Amino acid sequence: MFSRRAFLARSVAAGAGAMLVRRARADEVPPIVRPKLNSARPTHTGAGTPSLVTPNGATMPFRITNGVKEFHLVAEPVEREFAEGMTVKCWGYNGQTPGPTIEVTQGERVRLFVTNRLPEHTSVHWHGLFIPCGMDGVTGLTQTGIQPGETWIYEFTIPDQHGTFMYHPHADEMTQMAFGMMGFFIVHPKDPPRLAIDRDFAIMLHNWAVHPGTYRPDPAVMVDFNMWTFNSRVFPGTEHLVVRTGDRVRVRFGNLSMWNHPIHVHGHAWKVVATDGGQIPEAGQWPETTVLVPVGTTRDVEFIADNPGDWALHCHMSHHTMNAMAHGIANTVGVDQGGVEQKIQSLLPGYMAMGRNGMAEMQGMAEHMPGPANTLPMMMGNGQFGEIEMGGMFTVLKVRDDITSYEDPGWYKFPEGSVARKADS
């Protein structure tokens, strides 16, 4: 599994003496940068790789000091708008959740400064990277916690592996990850890939328990989550993925949530080409339209976008494409609630019985009746034909023949006579 070259790289790293994390001296710490969301592209220009796009996110800035690539992560409280109408009090890195995407190239020497501005200790684990154990970031096992106010240094040589990895705390994980502390760590290959990629996206999957009317995720919740996010945003707040017809597209999914997510694409089939464990040989790749992204893993999928249109791309767990969910309520489908509605109205003026014919009537509820503060409707978002009745882990893959940039081109212009129609029209 490990090449001789990788072994040598490790030996060199060991010889350099940086085997354990240490506290930073004030004069060596790079400035703190909080990149603006979506402002950091184009970003990395590795050999033959396109700019990586973290939808609704950003790329981590760096500086080079004596040939070493230096990053400065700041663990801190952040406010994150999940979609218009809901802002959550989270924890993250450099003003964001997920934290900005770190990009490096195979073989590079990196130095990662971590400043802790949380009210409790933390650490950073580099998920999937084969680095010296003293840099692994597990509180108690490989280091003591980084205390509030301290800045520590992780330093290592990127081993002979490339692909999609992640970073997250390995200290009070239940709280710190529930609050959104996670990010991508992308290693680009030193040599150009055999098949050039035109569009490269990174999407982190997460779940949250933000009880209706509240602002802070509940870290004690184990299974009963109510918000499901792509890069800490819910539909319709999720950025659309714009590609040109014929583009070879890569989407990197990471999952640090508490559920597995089967992510489905319409109109295309993709192949899983890599996991956080390594690249998959071509003989081991098979086409599918849904990739299961288990907890604690990454999956890189690739496909040719050869079918123009507006294609749904979403988690196939139907409750994961809903916002502030109405789960746990009595099942009223098929129930005549007429008499009940009048009786309750005598106690609660304005009460509306709902759900007799399904849940679609509850969409746009916010327009009909005020909900709790900071709580999104269960299903929302409009397309060119009306309400899409989705939330959570949903976005749109926009495949276009005629675009000259990857700016959002608006809704698809369907060719005459190509849209489903009512039989009697």
Residues forming the site for Cu ion (CB under 5 A): 261, 315, 317, 320
What is the rounded distance in angstroms from the CA atom of residue 324 to the CA atom of residue 346? 27
Cis peptide before 236 (omega within 30 of 0): yes
Per residue, what are the HEC states of 257-309?
Answer: CCCCEEEEECCCCEEEEEECCEECCHHHCCEECEEEECCCEEEEEEEECCCCE
CB of 176 to Cu ion, least distance (A): 21
Nearer to Cu ion, 315 or 390 (CB): 315
- Residue 28 has phi, psi (to 5 degrees) of -110, 0
Nearer to Cu ion, 129 or 263 (CB): 263
CB of 251 to Cu ion, least distance (A): 15
CB of 206 to Cu ion, least distance (A): 10
CB of 391 to Cu ion, least distance (A): 12
Close Cβ partners of 413 (under 8 Å, ≥ 6 residues apart): none
CB of 181 to Cu ion, least distance (A): 20
Nearer to Cu ion, 261 or 268 (CB): 261
Nearer to Cu ion, 125 or 261 (CB): 261
Which residue(s) pair with 209 in the sheet? none
CB of 322 to Cu ion, least distance (A): 11
What is the rounded distance in angstroms from the CA atom of residue 249 to the CA atom of residue 302? 6
Nearer to Cu ion, 162 or 261 (CB): 261
Cβ of 311: how many Cβ atoms within 10 Å? 20
Question: Tell me, what amino acid is at 295?
Answer: V
Contact 68, 62 (CB under 8 A): no
Nearer to Cu ion, 23 or 319 (CB): 319
CB of 311 to Cu ion, least distance (A): 18
Contact 112, 185 (CB under 8 A): no
Closest Cα to residue 242, out of 53, 38, 37, 44? Answer: 53
Contact 398, 414 (CB under 8 A): no
Nearer to Cu ion, 88 or 205 (CB): 205
Helices (H) and strands (E) in the chain, counts: 4, 25
CB neighbour class for 119 (10 Å; exposed up to 12, middle 13-18, buried from 19): exposed
Nearer to Cu ion, 57 or 391 (CB): 391
* Beta strand segments in 18-136, E: 22-23, 52-53, 63-65, 68-83, 86-93, 102-105, 109-116, 125-127
Nearer to Cu ion, 147 or 318 (CB): 318
Nearer to Cu ion, 29 or 221 (CB): 221
CB of 228 to Cu ion, least distance (A): 6
CB of 112 to Cu ion, least distance (A): 30
Closest Cα to residue 86, out of 256, 263, 214? Answer: 214
What is the rounded distance in angstroms from the CA atom of residue 83 to the CA atom of residue 238? 8
CB of 149 to Cu ion, least distance (A): 37
